[in-house]
Amino acid sequence: MHRGARQIGGNCVELAVPGARLILDLGLPLDAQLPRSRPDGTWDAAAVKDLMAAGVLPAVDGLYAQGSGDPILALLVSHAYADHYGLASFARPDIPIVAGKYARRLMDLTARIMGAPALGPAGPEVRHEQVLEIGPFRITPYLVDHSAFDAYAFLVESGGRRVLYSGDLRAHGRKESMFEHLVAHGPRGVDALLLEGTTLARDKGEPQPSERDIEIAMIDAMRAATGLVLAWSSGQNIDRLVTIYRAALQSGRKLLIDPYIALVLDSLSEVGSLPKMEWGPVRVLFPKRVSSLMELRGYGDFMKRAGAQGVRWQTVCDRPSEFVAMFRNSMLDDHLRHGTLKGAQMIYSMWSGYLADDRNKRVVEAIDQAGGSLTSLHSVGRASGGSGSVVEALVPRRVVPMHTLVPELYATLGPTISVVDDGAILALEA
């Protein structure tokens, strides 16, 4: 266990058998920041050293440079959120990265827009329940229900031992059936279940609303609004984006996406159920900062295509009640400049803790000053009525808490709990 025993995000686990190793996730801790990369698109050696010294890069022999241990055959990435893959570009370029095809696209796109170093080569394609053989490891991916697109849990088998790594789970998103599938058909009796526990602490409190609940509440808020509706959400939370899109349609409004979200959706365009910028009820609005960044990163052709689906700021200003506009704090100045905040209804749809951030406080104040209002509608989703039912159904020999602040709470789940602290090794004997 390199990291993740007592924190949410920043996951990194090493699986070792004689002669070979695998890495499960290489996440950036939620409170850590990456340095700037060099103009040639590589990491500066001194910056890497600093990150190692600060413990941001977990000390895994042979992961970043030639080591003395057994070879690392692959880095498995459960999903494309930075707290699970954000340090992957530091791994040696000859270590293949095994991730879902769409997850990989989202990771590549993010790296390009951020101007960050490219990721290592893609390993064999990950598909739901299709076994991959990598050296002595037999890997079975299970598609899971998560707000991140194309997210997996991994069963890894080798030398008669079996480990199931949950990645992030939840049970009431738009792919709830995948969660039920894992419970019904997931591997029974594994030697160790490395189980995320984001919401274990909350289980005893109120149940989290489902995406459908959020959708209904959003429809109400959008119908009640008289001015522009702004939807403040993460650009890579695809489930929530679909929820906002559906709510906009049902309240008779068009959805305005920015070119970054348009690009994310375009890169997933084979997935039939996701909205696209070419669809009638979707239009692209061009905030300054993200637009110039995308031009700078070489997306000029895409920007032309998006421009054909564009809406002018003046139109939004003149007829605000026709639209729901996706919002991030980098767009505040555009809205201030164009006067579109006047009487606006902001729907805040992320973790409430982020509102304490200075840049976000500025948004809240600006809305207040413009006579608008803010409503919070969110669900963390990663549920764990969930975790409990997975454990009950799969009856693992032991559960290893991960991605949690409270490993002690796992004791309520029933089977043997092995807390493996960061830096500690768990031996799975026969």
Interface contacts to Zn ion, rule CB under 5 A: 83, 168
The 3-state DSSP class for residue 300 equals helix
The gap between the terminal CA atoms of the chain, to the nearest Å, is: 20
Q: Which is nearer to Zn ion, 240 or 254 (CB)?
A: 240
Q: Which is nearer to Zn ion, 25 or 215 (CB)?
A: 25
Label residue 327 exposed, middle or buried (CB < 10 Å: 0-12, 13-18, 19+): buried
**275, 301 contact by CB (below 8 A):** no
- The least distance separating Zn ion from the CB of residue 97, rounded to whole angstroms, comes to 17
User: Of 181, 151, 183, 156, which is closest to residue 168 (Cα–Cα)?
Assistant: 151
State the Cα–Cα distance between residues 108 and 384, nearest whole angstrom.
30
In the chain, the amino acid numbered 271 is V
- The least distance separating Zn ion from the CB of residue 403, rounded to whole angstroms, comes to 6
Q: Which is nearer to Zn ion, 238 or 325 (CB)?
A: 238
User: Of 307, 272, 268, 7, which is closest to residue 149 (Cα–Cα)?
Assistant: 268
- The least distance separating Zn ion from the CB of residue 418, rounded to whole angstroms, comes to 21
Q: Which is nearer to Zn ion, 168 or 203 (CB)?
A: 168
- The least distance separating Zn ion from the CB of residue 30, rounded to whole angstroms, comes to 9
CA dihedral 78, 83, 86, 90 (to 10 degrees): -90
DSSP assigned state of 24: E
Q: Which is nearer to Zn ion, 83 or 203 (CB)?
A: 83
State the Cα–Cα distance between residues 283 and 160, nearest whole angstrom.
54
Q: Which is nearer to Zn ion, 14 or 168 (CB)?
A: 168
- The least distance separating Zn ion from the CB of residue 349, rounded to whole angstroms, comes to 18
- The least distance separating Zn ion from the CB of residue 143, rounded to whole angstroms, comes to 16
Q: Which is nearer to Zn ion, 83 or 150 (CB)?
A: 83
- The least distance separating Zn ion from the CB of residue 83, rounded to whole angstroms, comes to 5
Which residue is listed with tokens 């959020």?
Answer: 214
State the Cα–Cα distance between residues 148 and 250, nearest whole angstrom.
24
Count CB neighbours of 168 within 10 A. 26
